Structure formats: structure tokens, C-alpha cells
A and B are shown apart, each in its own frame.
Chain A
Amino acid sequence: MHDAFIAPDVPVIVQGMTGRAGRTHTLGMRAYGTNIVGGTSPRDEDVGGLPVFRSCAAAVAATGALASVAIVPPLAVLPAIVEAIDAGIKTVVTITEGMPIHDAVAARRTVARAGARWIGASTPGMAIPGRMKLGFLPNVSLSPGNLGVMAKSGTLSYEVCHRLVARGFGQSLWVGVGGDPVKGTRFADMLPFYAADPATHALVIVGEIGGDEEEALGAAMLAQGFTKPVYALIAGQAAREGVTMGHAGALIHGNVGTVATKTAALTAAGARVFTRIQDLIEAVAAG
């Protein structure tokens, strides 16, 4: 199934490889086993001896890269996505915080037209634990196992997976979808992959208030007859309407996007929903 979503040995380039964060995460990904084949930058600076190219087109032509991780400033994310897709990249991961929402709308359209995949706008990335990661999910929380993980929040998913790993439960495929209102890959988009994957025995969903992604996931579970156990955590019970707490997507308007609407939709589809981390951990451990 990994191959259906992404091949563990897919050749990867890093856009913005020679910047401070670019360098750190490039070396971190390579050390974890990701097949990093080069990167782009306006400057020829050495990053672990990897080839540096001026453009995605040049990088793809020379390396055959099919995936890219873009580590560029907020207003440069959309151009980076467009450049990668035009060069033939099939999976783009963007990790930058602060991409404008209307840029994300344009990026979605570009990616969809090319039949490609985008994980972002702002996400710690994804991982097939023990094989590869695109982005910077922390190694201390990664471990091969049978849980499919999807998360809107990086830090909260680190915490949840760290506790699960300590109890012996690792992940089959972990996708950080990000906390942005408009994004490349939503919870429901991933459901068919997890359904078809024999290595995934259950799902752990790290959600939060705002938007309708959890509601859409519940609807997709019902429509697709998803039968694997689903454990969901939803953060933000204390949020006030009209006040953003960190994630632009975590904003309540009227009665839309509340813990109550998300819990109702997921529960109706057979998921178990928790408001405390440890309750979710114990439920997963109890099977």
C-alpha cells in the first residue's frame, strides 16, 4: 500500500536545501533513510555532498526525482509548488508556516490539474516509519507498527505517538495534514489508502476545532464502509468563537467546526472520540 500512496524509496529533492532549516531537515531526512537525491537553491553551498540545482526542472532531469519537500518562505510556497509540479514532481510536501490561504487555493488547483499530490500547507510532513520521512516528524515518536496516523497538529501528534510508541504501538503510515483551512490533503482523502493497506490495523486521528475535516471524515467512513477501528482526539474544547489559537484553521464560526459537531459525525461513523490524550492511549492499548 505504501506504493499506492508513495514508494518508500521514492527519489526526493529538497527545494530551498541550503537555507538554515533546509540544511537541517535535508540531513535529518537522509539520516532517517529517505532517498534524498539533491535539492534546489540559488547558491552552491554544500549540504552533505548532495547535488544543488538552480531549478526543479534541472533537478528532476538530472535525478529522476518524483517527490519534493519545499522549505521556503511563506510567500514563496505557491511558486515552489508550481515549479515542482511543472517539473513533473508527483508528491510535494510543504512545511512552511504562514502560506496565504488564497495561495493555497491556487496551489490546490495546480496540483489537481496535474494529477499530483500535495501535503501541506504547513505540516511536519509524513513518514513510513523505519523507511523514510518527508519533512521533520521527530524520530522519538516514529516507530514501525500498525497504526495509520493522520494529524492536523504536529506537536499534539508527536505527544500522542510518543506515548503510543512507549506502549509498543507504532505506525504504518503517518501523514501530518496540517492546521490550515485550505490544504492539499485532507483526512478523508487518505481513507481509501488506509482501508486498502493490510499493514494498517487501526487509525489514530489527531483533530482539532475549526473547519469540517473531521465531519467529512466521518461521512467518508460511512460512505466507504470503513471498518477498521478509529480512535480520534479533538483539541480545542476551550476555544472561544472568533478567536484563533495558533492554527488559522482552528477557528469557530457560529455552530460550525465545534468539538460537538466533530464528535457527533465521527461517533456516528463508529469512531471513538476522546478529549484527553491518555484516554485515547488506553483505548488503543486495550484494542
Chain B
Amino acid sequence: MLLEHDAKELLAERGLPVPRGELLRAGQTPAVPAPAVVKVQVPIGGRGKAGGIRMARTPEAVVAALANLTGMTIKGHVVRACRVEATVDFVAEAYLSFTLDAGPGNIRVMMSASGGIEIEDATDDLLGESVDAELDTVRAAVDRLAARLPESLRAPLRDAGHQLAAAFFDFEAVLLEINPLFVAADGSWTIGDTKLSVDENAFPRQPRLQRVIEANADLYPEAALKLEQGFDFVRLDDNGDIGLVTTGAGLSMQLIDELLARGRRPYNFCDIRTGQFRGDPARLIKVLEWIAAGPSIRSVLINFFAGHTDLGEIARLLIAALAAVPQLQVPVTARFIGNGLEKARAIVAEAGDPIAIETDLERAIDLAIQRADARENADA
């Protein structure tokens, strides 16, 4: 999901009406005059309820709100920047959204005369249709839904719906929600808040979207890292004590669940994609460096279920990577299973056994935990 600020800038570039606003980090000076709204920029909904949106009537209040909000944590996301935005005059707040309905592969168009609140709470008057993923079909649905709204909202919602439907397809979006959509006394409309979820897989033919991520890489750490490196690494717990070097999205996620179920604090998620190593330890070195930077790391757990990759080759790359990251001074446990296991054992033994090898995942988890505890006791 893009940050509200970026979504609004993208929509403004298409000529859609967006209030004047700017993205500011802590300590930066606002150019938007007060009164203004200061909104945390994190990729989740419900920011208002979570205390992440402040109304500031004076320039001093804007600066104070900016200072207060940056650095706070909302649903696990640290606030690194806020959007400061001009206020808007309106007589009605409506709701409009386009969602990719994943099951049938349709587009769901939704509309409501009462926007501005959590839409889950307003299902009573939420109108919706799920239609074929074609622009004309979606626009026809917009027309049908708008016709069911109070008369003063019909024209603005029809116009907004037609323009935003085109934006949805052009951006290859998964979700485009406008809530609230402000409607003024003269029938003009403005985008109050928006959620825009895009598809990273489409970036090779959506260079504008890719540039959004690259321009604010610190605000999209996971997406930027994936763009740059070609694999996934997510820091889950800054004080986690077990670093994970794993491959496969599902098994890597599950390993985190298994550690949490044992009351442990895994440091990171990682889907390193062993199939793309091509004989180069660079990816392993990167991941080990990031893990070594964790302040509380006491143990590293590697899990490679080698359906096709050769564990001998993996072991060779791991030994090279460990040598390249001497700052990582904690025990390393690897669960290896699959092709080339014996070769991997021989390579690790020849290197002086810097890695403890297990073939059973449950035993490997237990060993990595024991070694973290032993490390903690030694440190104490």
C-alpha cells in the first residue's frame, strides 16, 4: 500500500482534485499555511482512531503536531513522516472505492453517502457491485450506484467515479479508496483521504510507481529493499534475539510463528530465494550483515529445505558469507534437508564446523533457542 501522500500526489498528477499538501519529516518547516491537518504517513487504515491525525489551527500548532506525531508507533509502524495538508470546506462526506475482488477476479465498486468514518461501521448504506474488470463495465457500475445516492451527490460521485476508475486501471491497482470524498456546496469534489494499493509485480511496466518507492525508500523499507535486492527481508522486532536466514515465503512465516509459540522473539522475516544465488554469496552476506546489526542477536537459525538447490553449494556459499561478516559473533544453527546433504556436512566440517547442522526442523529450532539462552547467560 502506498502512503496517503504519494497516492495523492499520483492522483494530483492526473489532474484529480487533491488538497494542497506536503510530506514532512521531523524538524522540517511547513509551507502549507495553518489551519492544516497533520497526518501520520504509515501504510494502514484507521490512523485517525489510532491518534495519528491532528487538526492544527495555528502555525505553532502545526509544528507541535508534527513534532508529536513523528516517532510515534502506530500498529507496529514507526512514524517517519507526516503529510501537512490544507483544510477543505465541504457540505457532505461520501465514500467511493474500487477493489480487486480476488476470488472471481472482478472489480468491486462501492459507494456511500456517508463517508468519513471506518467504512466497516457503515455497512447499512454502503452500495456495491462486483463487475468484470473492464473500464467501461466499471464506469457503468459507477453510474448505476451514483443514481441511488441523494440527488446532490449523484453528479460529483459519477464524475469522481469515472476518473478514479481510469486511475485504478492505469495504476494496475488492487485497491483505490476515497474516504472521505468531500463534496462542496457548489457540487465540486475533493479527495479527502485515500488508500491506494498497487502491485509490485507490475513495477517493470509501471516506472512511475517504482519511482515513488525509490524516492522515499526510508518510508517503504520492505518494498525498497525488495526492489533493490530482489528478495524479502522484514525486521520484525528490533530487540529480537534470533536472526533468521530462510527461504520460501510460507515456511519462513511459519518459522516465525513457531518461535513466537515458544515464547521467543525472532528478529526478522526473510525469504532469501536460494534458487537465485547463482553461485554468489552476496545475498547471504547482506542478510548476515543486517542480522549482525541487531543489538540483541544471540543466535542465528538457517532453514533450507532443498527441493532442488544443492546443499553442498549452499554450504560453500554460507561458509564464504560467514567469513565476510566477522562482526557476527553468535552461534549459527542450520537445518538442512534435501539434495547434497552429505556434501554440505563435509564442507562445513572442513571449515572447522562454524555451523551446527540439524536435519529435523523442530530440533534445529530447539538448538537455536538453547544456544541463544546459553549466550544470554554467558553475557549476564
Contact = CB atoms under 8 A, between A and B. Distances in A.
Interface of A: 24, 28, 74-75, 98-102, 104-106, 108-109, 124, 136-138, 140-141, 151-159, 162, 179, 181-183, 186, 206, 208-209, 211-213, 216, 233, 235-250, 253-255, 275-278
Contact of A138 (B77, B132, B307): B307
Given A136-B307, A242-B44, A247 B77 contact: no
A263 B357 CA distance: 34
Contacts of B132: 109
A108 B133 CA distance: 11
A101 to B, nearest CB: 4
Given A102-B202, A105-B105, 9 more contacts: A28-B308, A105-B100, A138-B307, A155-B247, A233-B254, A238-B260, A238-B269, A245-B269, A277-B258
Interface in B138-194: 169, 172, 174-175
Contacts of A245: 232, 234, 249, 252-253, 269, 271
A233 to B, nearest CB: 7
Contacts of B326: none
B308 A24 contact: yes
Contact of B253 (A101, A151, A213, A250): A250
Given A154-B248, A253-B45, A239 B103 contact: no
Interface string B95-139: 000001011110000000000000010000000000011000000
Contact of A159 (B105, B172, B305): B305
Interface string B252-276: 1110111011000010010100000
A252 to B, nearest CB: 9
Nearest to A20: B278
A275 B75 contact: no
Contacts of B75: 240-242
B100 A246 contact: no
Contacts of A151: 250
A158, A179, A186: which has the most chain B beta carbons within 10 Å? Answer: A158
Contacts of B76: 240-241
B103 A216 contact: yes
A155 B252 contact: yes
A208 B199 contact: no
Contacts of A183: 102
A278 B362 CA distance: 8
B102 A242 contact: no
A239 B258 CA distance: 13
B43 interface: yes
B105 A155 contact: no
Interface string B14-52: 000000000000000000000000000011111000000
A109 B133 CA distance: 9
A109 B43 contact: no
B104, B199, B254, B308: which has the most chain A beta carbons within 10 Å? Answer: B254
Main secondary structure of the interface of B (DSSP, over half): mixed
B102 A212 contact: yes
Nearest to A255: B120
Contacts of B252: 155, 245-246
Contact of B308 (A136, A237, A275): A136
B102 A248 contact: no
Contacts of B257: 235-238, 275-276
B304 to A, nearest CB: 9
B260 A155 contact: no
A186 B103 contact: yes
A242 B261 contact: no
A181 B102 contact: yes
B250 A206 contact: yes
A154 B252 CA distance: 11
Contacts of A99: 201
Given A240-B76, A246-B269, A254-B46, A153 B120 contact: no
Given A162-B305, A250-B249, A101 B103 contact: no
B248 A248 contact: no
B201 A157 contact: no
Contact of A246 (B77, B120, B249, B260): B249
Contacts of A74: 201, 204
Contacts of B1: 242, 253
B233 to A, nearest CB: 10
14 contacts: A75-B204, A101-B174, A104-B105, A109-B105, A154-B248, A162-B337, A182-B105, A216-B103, A235-B253, A243-B234, A246-B232, A246-B249, A253-B197, A254-B46
B369 to A, nearest CB: 14
A101 B206 CA distance: 13
A237 B262 CA distance: 13
A43 to B, nearest CB: 21
Contacts of B362: 278
A140 B341 CA distance: 13
Contacts of A102: 133, 169, 172, 199, 202
Nearest to A247: B249
A97 B314 CA distance: 21
Contact of A158 (B174, B232, B305): B305
Given A101-B100, A241-B75, A248 B199 contact: yes
Given A100-B199, A156-B254, A253 B205 contact: no
Contacts of A211: 102
Contact of A235 (B175, B247, B254): B254
Given A242-B77, A245-B234, A101 B201 contact: yes
Q: Which 8 A-B pairs have the closest CB atoms?
A: A153-B250, A155-B248, A246-B249, A138-B307, A156-B250, A155-B251, A242-B43, A246-B271
Contacts of A254: 45-46, 120
A216 B260 CA distance: 28
Contact of A253 (B175, B234, B269): B175
A187 B254 CA distance: 19
B52 to A, nearest CB: 13
Contacts of A137: 307
B222 interface: yes
Contacts of A240: 75-77, 236
